Amino acid sequence: MIKTDALIIGAGPTGLFTAHQLKIIGLDCQIVDNLDKIGGQCIELYPDKPIYDIPAIPECTGEELTQNLIKQLKPFKIKFHLNERVNEVKKNNNNWEVKTSNGTKFSTPNVIIAGGVGSFEPRKFSLKECEQFENKSIFYSIKDKKIFEGKTVTIFGGGDSALDWAVELSKTSKVNLIHRRDEFRGANSTVDKVHELTKSGKINLFTKFQISEIKGTSYLESVEITHENKEVKTLKTDYILGFFGLIMRLGPIANWGLNLNKKTIEVDTEKFETNQKGIYAVGDICTYPGKLKLILSGFHEGALAARACFKLARPNEKYRFEFTTSSKTIKDRLGVKSD
């Protein structure tokens, strides 16, 4: 059981700056995120897209913003738990007990949800029958490529993951690649490679086709694909891989007894606290009258939620407001010299 003053769920810009604010006022914190990297939507959805409305930064990309926030956190040693989704949040006396998908357990008086629009998960096939083969013959990510050696693998998708894996697996497997249109959204060099391998017969390419049925009993036998013009083909296959990008789901957050409004969590505008004492929501995932889904709003919300955490984490101390320009205590925390 890890004890911490505050646990932040979500390592996007709001979560990162909230961590900064907690550390500045002398609280410790840890951050959990379901993605395998820091940055949230900024990194996952628009790493290269410029953002123009961060105060005092005329223009920066999602990736640059993330790098700068990480740099700003550098004086503090913050423990990140990536690739872990928070599944359970339960009250235990004055603390919240939090459990992740990897079984990591936390005990903390403060939980700050900075979860954006929920956790990122792979989009799956909409065919119901695909569920029974999931993680056996149907995969949405690859952990061990050896299992595909000498087998027939049918890959769906038109982005980098689909194309990269089609190229890679064509070395040792029979590969079918299926995409709903003629154009691909992967890197040009990979698209060229796929066309080359198609010409040489290493990849069987089917465009304007989509999955329509799968057949098999205990193991997968074949997949049926249908063309835009209704033509149907049946392909024998041992494995199916689906790479349709990531979707965002509120996920387990919906089960924590919080007041929800559509996919957002209702908070007050003093502490950004939810209807549960000690659970806060900041950034895109929170809602209140006048809420703006801007990164700068998330920074403000995180700063206030951090001050609210102080009260529960240090019930016997009084919080003192201080400026980073003048406070010796804060400068010590930042590891910079005082004047």
Question: Rounded CA gap, 211 and 179, in Å?
Answer: 9
Residues with Cβ within 8 Å of 150's Cβ and at least 6 positions away in sequence, in order, are 172, 173
Min CB(232)–other proteins separation in Å = 16
Contact 2, 30 (CB under 8 A): yes
Note whether 331 binds other proteins by CB under 8 A. no
Note whether 41 binds other proteins by CB under 8 A. yes
Nearest alpha-carbon partner for 21 in 6, 33, 10? 6
Note whether 2 binds other proteins by CB under 8 A. no
Min CB(248)–other proteins separation in Å = 6
Per CB under 8 A, contacts with other proteins among 218-237 are: 228
Min CB(17)–other proteins separation in Å = 20
Q: What are phi and psi of 234, to 5 degrees?
A: -115, 125
Beta bridge partners of 8: 31, 112
Question: Rounded CA gap, 311 and 106, in Å?
Answer: 19
Note whether 54 binds other proteins by CB under 8 A. no
Distances (CA, A) of 147 to 137, 139, 178, 228, 314: 10, 12, 21, 32, 53
Note whether 293 binds other proteins by CB under 8 A. yes
Question: Rounded CA gap, 40 and 299, in Å?
Answer: 14
Note whether 248 binds other proteins by CB under 8 A. yes
Note whether 291 binds other proteins by CB under 8 A. no
Nearest alpha-carbon partner for 96 in 269, 312, 316? 312
Beta bridge partners of 264: 261
Min CB(175)–other proteins separation in Å = 19
Nearest alpha-carbon partner for 243 in 139, 134, 173, 151? 139
The residue (of 179 and 193) whose beta carbon lies closer to other proteins is 179
Size of the site for other proteins (CB under 8 A): 25
Min CB(187)–other proteins separation in Å = 13
Note whether 180 binds other proteins by CB under 8 A. yes
Per CB under 8 A, contacts with other proteins among 189-218 are: 210
Min CB(83)–other proteins separation in Å = 21
Q: Of the ranges 27-35, 157-165, 272-280, 331-339, which one interacts with other proteins (CB under 8 A)?
A: 157-165
Note whether 157 binds other proteins by CB under 8 A. yes
Amino acid occupying residue 36: D
The radius of gyration of the chain's CA atoms, rounded to the nearest angstrom, is: 24
Min CB(126)–other proteins separation in Å = 5
Tally the residues of the chain.
339
Note whether 247 binds other proteins by CB under 8 A. yes
- According to CB under 8 A, which one of 68, 159, 190, 288 is a site residue for other proteins? 159
Residues with Cβ within 8 Å of 276's Cβ and at least 6 positions away in sequence, in order, are 91, 256, 257, 258
Question: Rounded CA gap, 52 and 210, in Å?
Answer: 38
Per CB under 8 A, contacts with other proteins among 86-115 are: none
Per CB under 8 A, contacts with other proteins among 262-281 are: 263
Note whether 245 binds other proteins by CB under 8 A. yes
Min CB(197)–other proteins separation in Å = 20
Give the footprint of other proteins on this chain (CB under 8 A).
41, 45-46, 49, 117, 123, 126, 157-159, 179-181, 183, 185, 210, 228, 244-249, 263, 293
